[in-house]
Structure formats: structure tokens, C-alpha cells
Structure 1
């Protein structure tokens, strides 16, 4: 049972634990819409049956083996055009916590967590609600493979599969939420350059020539950065910098 956290300022003071659910993001969004959630509310589920990933993908997770939860934030201090900074702050927070166990953990744009040579460890899905043109709430869904050892996808892995150690999920949850709160406060304090620099420092394939596909064609490119809207900047062989949004480029 996941309890209210005592070591945070506002995250995790309202925890909704469900043994089974279809999607923590859907439940958190419903709590927001029905005014049953506040900034810092968390929905955590022991067995998520229809977890959502980027690009409409499903998130596979065995019961009692991983961390699947969603937290409610109210980043109304940010402009809608700046929302990728929230993705970067969350990605940085997760990577910081896991660095001691997985020093080679990378963030794969836009917000997957992978360990090169092993596979995908987790992902982040942020869904927003708006009031007119104002940002009302952000629901941050996080899925991390912790103790699961078997996957239907050969590209998936877990901390236990890599390290050989089994982890206490509740303890890891407590530590992670504490780190997420620190990252969010860093965002609130306007330390955006620091957030972006840290994100780029650990970005998968940055400054390396690799293969990609876009609009059905394969090409060589080198990731050189992220623009203000969170789009991927890729240098092409002719020196041109091409910019790609979500679903516009695939990693080969």
C-alpha cells in the first residue's frame, strides 16, 4: 500500500492507490475534471492493464513488478509554448534517481528512458487540461520497469534484469517522488537553462551520426539539440539543421 509521503512539501500528500486499473493517467485526469485532485495528487496502480505510451502505444506491465503512477501538477507559471521544459525536468529527475544503479541510463527524445545495449526501461506521458488559452493542469504519467524479468518486446528491460537486484517498490516510489518534487521546484525557480543543459547532456545519440527515417525515407543525421518548442534538431550530411516534431522522425 502506497502511503501519503511525509518527506515532501506538496507532492504525494494526496495518494490514490488502486490494486488494478486501466490507466493511471485516465483516472488522474478524471479526478482533475471532477475537482477531486489538487496539485501534488498522485494516482498509483499495482497492475495497470491499459497503460498509455507515446504515439498511442500501450505500456506493458506485470502486476506487482513495476512502478506505474501519475501525478497532478499545475504549471500555470509557464506559457503553453514552453511545456517541453516540464518533460525535461521530469526526465532529469528520474534519471538522477536511477543514476546510482544505472550510470549509463539515457533519455531518448522525447521522453523514453533507455539503457543502451539493454533496451527501454521506462517512459513518460504528459497530458494537459486547459481553461481557454491557459494551462490548467498537467497529468504526468510515469511507467518504470523495476522487477519484471520477462517482456513480450525484445526492446524492453528492467532495473532487475540489468543489475540482478530486486527492489522495494514503495521505497523507490518515495525516493522518486522526492526527486520529482525537486525537479519541479527547479522549474518553478526559472532554472530552465540548467534543466535543458542536463537533459541534453544525457540525451541518447546526441552528437553522434546515426540512421533515422522520416516520411518513409532513411537518412544519416546527428542530433545537435532541442528547440524552444521541444522539437528535435538534427544536422544532416549537407550541414543543414532539420527540425522534427513528434511522429515526424523514427530512430533506426
Structure 2
């Protein structure tokens, strides 16, 4: 069971726990539209049967082993065109919540936390409601692999697999929520540069040559991200290119 968090200002003051749930993001979105939840509410489950990933992908999670939850925010201070800052805030919050457990973790653009040698450990799905060019509300879905040892996909791993130990999910959840509140409030204050700097500092393949594929395979170097979230890659031919989600593949 998940308790109301004592060490936060507004995140996690309302924790809605369900033993089973089709999708915490979908449920949170329904509750938000029905005006049944306040900003900072968290929907969390031990067993997500139809977890959603980016662009219709599914999220595999063994019952009771991982953290699968959604947070409701109302970032009306943020323009729709700047919504990728929410992604950056969530990414660095996850990293900071688990960096004392596992070294070698990186943010893989746009929405994955990976171990640079052993696979994906967390995923982020943000669904926004836009009103008059502002973000009226946002549902932040997070899936973090904690104690699961076996996965159907070879590209997934967990804290337990990487360390050889099992962890207290509740403690990690509380720390993650605290980190997220801190960085979200920094974003609200307008401290965008520090948020982006931290994101880039922890970005997979940032300023390193690597193999990619758009319509063809190429070698390139990630230079950063645009305000709208597009990835900036400099090809070895010298051209600079901008990619939206699913327009480029890491090889």
C-alpha cells in the first residue's frame, strides 16, 4: 500500500492505489476529465494489464515487481510548443532517484532511461491536454523496472538485474516523487537552462559519434534538442538535421 507523502508540498498528497489496472495513464486521464483529481495526484498499481508506451507501444511489467504509476500536473505556465521540458524534468528526476543504486544510466532520447550497456530500465509517456496554446494539464506516466528479473524482450533490464539485489519499491517511489516535485517547481520558476543542461549532460550519445538510420543508415553526432523536443544530429557529411519522434532510429 502506498501512503500519502509527507516530504512534498503537493505531489503525492493524493495517492490512488489499485492492485490491478489496465493503464494508469488512461485512468488518470479519465479522472482528470471528470474533475475528480487535483494537481499532484498519483495513480499507482502493482499490476498494469495494458500499459501504454510511446506511439502505441506496450509496456511489459511483472505483477508486484516494478513501479507503474501516473502523476497529474497542471503546467499552465508552459506553452504547448515547450512541452518537451516536462520530458526533461521527468527524465532527470528518475536518474537522480536511482543514481545511488546504479551507475552508467543515461537518457535515451526521447523518453527512455537506459543502462548504456545492458538495456532499458524505465520509460516515460506524457499525455497533454492543450488549451489556447498552453498546457492545461498533463498526465505523466512512468514505468520503472525495479525487481523484475526476466523479460520477454532482450532490450529491457531492471535495477535488480543490474545490481543483483532486490529493492524497496516504496522508498524509490517516494524519492522519485520528491525529485520530480523539486525539478517541476524549478521549471515553474523559469530555470529552463539548468534543466536542459542536466538533461544534455546525461544524454545517451551526446557529442559522440554513433550509427543512426532515417531513410538510410548514417554516422552522426547528437548536438542537442530543440525547444519542441526535436533531436539535433550532425551527420558525418557535415549536414545538421532535426528529427521528431520516430523519424530517426539508434543503431
Q: Are residues 1:27 and 2:20 paired?
A: no
Mapping 1:207-246, distance limit 5 Å? 207-215=207-215, 217-246=216-245
**TM-score in terms of structure 1 length:** 0.98
Task: Return the offset for 1:161.
Answer: 0.3
**TM-score in terms of structure 2 length:** 0.98
Task: Return the offset for 1:60.
Answer: 0.1
| Residue of structure 1 in register with 2:131 after alignment | 131
SS in 2 for 1:138: strand
Task: Return the offset for 1:131.
Answer: 3.1
- What is the alpha-carbon distance in structure 2 between the residues aligned to residue 79 and residue 134 of structure 1? 4
- What is the alpha-carbon distance in structure 1 between the residues aligned to residue 54 and residue 249 of structure 2? 13
- What is the alpha-carbon distance in structure 2 between the residues aligned to residue 174 and residue 53 of structure 1? 23
- What is the alpha-carbon distance in structure 2 between the residues aligned to residue 25 and residue 247 of structure 1? 21
SS in 2 for 1:52: coil
- What is the alpha-carbon distance in structure 1 between the residues aligned to residue 174 and residue 207 of structure 2? 35
- What is the alpha-carbon distance in structure 1 between the residues aligned to residue 135 and residue 228 of structure 2? 15
Task: Return the offset for 1:132.
Answer: 4.3
Answer whether contact 2:79 2:133 (CA < 8 A) is retained. Answer: no
| Residue of structure 1 in register with 2:77 after alignment | 77
Q: Deviations over 1:158-217 (max 9, x none)?
A: 0000011111111111111111111111111111000000000010011111111113x1
Worse-matched range after superposition: 91-100 or 127-136 = 127-136
Task: Return the offset for 1:152.
Answer: 0.2
SS in 1 for 2:142: strand
Aligned length: 251
Task: Return the offset for 1:11.
Answer: 0.3
| Residue of structure 2 in register with 1:96 after alignment | 96
- What is the alpha-carbon distance in structure 1 between the residues aligned to residue 58 and residue 27 of structure 2? 16
Worse-matched range after superposition: 161-170 or 129-138 = 129-138
Mapping 1:10-89, distance limit 5 Å? 10-89=10-89
Name stretches of at least 5 consecutive residues in structure 2 with no aligned partner: none
Answer whether contact 2:80 2:130 (CA < 8 A) is retained. Answer: no
- What is the alpha-carbon distance in structure 1 between the residues aligned to residue 74 and residue 243 of structure 2? 28
Q: Deviations over 1:137-176 (max 9, x none)?
A: 0000000000000000011000000011111111111111
SS in 1 for 2:8: coil
| Residue of structure 2 in register with 1:5 after alignment | 5
SS in 2 for 1:51: coil
Task: Return the offset for 1:130.
Answer: 2.6
| Residue of structure 2 in register with 1:186 after alignment | 186
